[in-house]
Structure 1
Amino acid sequence: MSFMLLIQSEERARPRTESERRIAAERMERMQRYGAGLHARGLLMASDSLKSDEEGVRIETRGGKRTFSDGPFTESKEIVGGFFLINVSTREEALAIASECPAAEWSTVEVRQSGPCYDE
């Protein structure tokens, strides 16, 4: 079973001070070790960080008209900063793995199983 761990944060600001940069670097190192551990256990299918929503674009097509909206998306309370896609046997295993994610200390880790959009 595939599960995506979405790393969500309310923080949009980039680290500006030396102290903030040090904390950000420590967090990134912890996340890289976490991902390496998942890989070593044969659980990691994919992972990556995402650039700020300031660089994102939303595309909608309504009534045949396509619109493009540049970020940042002020209506969004949280931004997705990255993800881990894992392959495990059960939902419980996915939750246990997600609870080990260091980002849960400063962000929210949302766990979503992959599958059909609509279950009948």
Structure 2
Amino acid sequence: MPQMLLIVEPLGQRAERGRAGGEAAYQRMLDFAAALQAEGLLLGVNSLSSAAKRLAKRDGAAQVWDGPFAEAKEMVGGYFLLDTDDEAVALAWAERCPAAEWATVEVRGVGPCYL
């Protein structure tokens, strides 16, 4: 099963580091993605915005909430989808991920929801 590196970062962190700091961090993440690509491990990568909506459907009625969500202290800021079923390999790459310095890198297997 492929492994996903989820970047879980504190809310507001992007604004705190400013444009120049954000661009420098983004370049480091691009370089990390290039290293994964060079190893043949990268299946997908994206940065996620802090703007979000939530939807729940109960009894046929949908309700939508706009984010950011007050109860949240962190957000999923992006992900790397790796072509490996070896959790140890994914953890080794998570340790190399620059975002581990300012966020948490969560490793999860990707597969059917019944596993």
TM-score (norm: length of structure 1): 0.87
Structure 2 unaligned regions, length at least 5? none
Q: Which residue of 2 aligns with 1:56?
A: 52
Number of positions where the alignment pairs a residue of Structure 1 with one of Structure 2 = 115
CA contact (8 A) 2:3 2:85 kept: no
Q: How does 1:72-87 map to 2 (within 5 A)?
A: 72-87=68-83
Task: Please list, as runs of the form range in 1=range in 2, the aligned pairs for 1:7-18 lying within 5 A after superposition.
Answer: 7-12=7-12, 14-15=14-15
Please state if 1:92 is matched with 2:88.
Answer: yes
Deviation >4 Å, runs of 4+: none
Q: CA RMSD in A?
A: 1.6
The residue aligned with 1:4 is 4
TM-superposition CA deviations, 1:27-86 (whole Å, max 9, x none) = 11110000011011110000010111xx31111001221101111111112101110000
Give the percent of matched residue pairs that are identical in Structure 1 and Structure 2. 45
TM-score (norm 2): 0.91
Cα 1:94/1:104, change in 2 over 3 Å? same
Give the unaligned 5+ runs of structure 1.
none
